[in-house]
Amino acid sequence: MELTRRDFAKLGTLSLAARFAPVLNAQAAPKKKIGYAVIGLGRIADHFLPGAGLTSNSKITALVSGHRDKADRIAAQYAVPSGSIYNYENFDEIAHNPNVDAVYVALPNSMHAEYTIRAARAGKHVLCEKPMSTKVAEAESMIAACKAANVKLMIAYRCHYEPTNLRAIRLIRDGALGQVQAIESSFGFNMGPNEWRTNKKLAGGGPLFDVGIYSLNACRYLTGEEPAAISAYASTIDHDARFAEVEENVAWTMKFPSGILATCSTTYGANMPGYYHVHGSKGWLQVDNAFVYEGLHLRGFVNGADIDEPNPARDPSHFVAEAEHFSHCIQNNLQPKSAGEEGLRDMQYITEIYRSAGISI
């Protein structure tokens, strides 16, 4: 059998996941694939759509878009019938579509709450992109709506399901670094003009909502703790149209109950490859490209030896893993690893970071 490059990448991802992720019951009888309606057909959806198609338990069964021509084109690729294409006005009719079990919310940040709540009321499980919302109260309403409708809510924190990040967590938990003392992390990029992300009404704020949240969340899953104290600063250096409504840079520190200190930064003004570096009493580890779709690389000194572990998996492997997990949870009535409460906590910390930096959100 000849393998394509995509087949090889998928096998690489699955083999790594088998090493570091919980083992599922291989004897379980095959279950019906979970049908997803993708809400919003922008750039992030372009990764989820093929990712879901590569899983063993998920499929695309509906689309929601304000651009019918684009929706028709994508529907043809995924064999979605024309009757399962919705717009934002008739979205609630999805309640009557038995082929839709769950939705994937891939909309601008400020729309996450509305469509999560509408989907829950339609009886559909919800996989929502991060950040969960733009306000703490919205996140709380999303959780309440899903509980009231008895549907599951998962926030799409890809790194919780990605083998290199799971490997770093396991090394720390196993004591391979000794006592962790400090963490540094950053992620940012040079934002182009006319992006919806610089519209505060749509985005909620600047780079912290978009990419800084990865560093925030990573410090939490690496330590296994919640920050006890936060201090932050924000600045705008390039006073151009991109930053008329949102800040350009945010930097913050966190102190965890154990005493671990974390220093993080994010920007829309420079290319800042996502990474984290963990300092321990007996060693260190660093993951380069930690938050992007491919090219992740774990290096360090642990257990008295150097490690160098590049990850060969390619996009859309992260989206395969998160869709596989959520569908498995739906099929087996399990709580998702990154449930709504995880997103709510990050919203609470983002609010605290902005408050410390003197920015109103």
Domains recognised in the chain with CATH numbers: 5-158 (3.40.50.720), 160-312+340-357 (3.30.360.10)
Sheet holding 58-64, edge to edge: 85-86, 58-64, 34-39, 102-105, 125-128, 153-155
User: Cα(320)–Cα(316) distance, rounded to whole angstroms?
Assistant: 6
Residue among 36, 214, 268, 354 flagged as catalytic? 214
Six-digit token pair at 206? 């600047």
Residue 31's pLDDT is 86
The mean per-residue pLDDT over the stretch 17-28 comes to 43
Hey, how many other C-beta atoms are within 10 angstroms of the C-beta on 182?
Answer: 14
CA 37, 42, 45, 49 torsion-angle sign: positive
Residue 29's pLDDT is 61
Continuous H helices in 178-310: 200-203, 207, 213-223
Residue 28's pLDDT is 52
312 pLDDT more than 70: yes
pLDDT band at 361 (very low <50, low <70, confident <90, very high): confident
* Listed residue (186, 235, 193) closest to 214, CA to CA: 186
pLDDT band at 30 (very low <50, low <70, confident <90, very high): confident
The mean per-residue pLDDT over the stretch 212-234 comes to 98
CA–CA distance from 248 to each of 74, 188, 241, 277, 279 (Å)? Answer: 35, 10, 11, 23, 28
User: Cα(347)–Cα(243) distance, rounded to whole angstroms?
Assistant: 22
Residue 38: beta bridge partners? Answer: 63, 104
**Per-residue pLDDT tens for 129-156?**
999 999 999 999 999 999 999 999 999 9
Give the mean pLDDT of the chain: 93
189 pLDDT more than 50: yes
Residue among 10, 59, 124, 130 flagged as catalytic? 130
Residue 282 is among the residues annotated as catalytic for this protein: no
* Listed residue (271, 249, 258) closest to 353, CA to CA: 249
21 pLDDT more than 90: no
pLDDT band at 243 (very low <50, low <70, confident <90, very high): very high
More confident: 19 or 328 = 328
CA–CA distance from 316 to each of 46, 102, 264 (Å)? Answer: 9, 20, 27
145 within 8 A of 1, measured Cβ to Cβ: no
Say whether the peptide bond before residue 131 is cis (omega within 30 degrees of 0). yes
335 pLDDT more than 50: yes
User: Cα(272)–Cα(264) distance, rounded to whole angstroms?
Assistant: 12
Residue 214 is among the residues annotated as catalytic for this protein: yes
**Per-residue pLDDT tens for 75-123?**
999 999 999 999 999 999 999 999 999 999 999 999 999 999 999 999 9
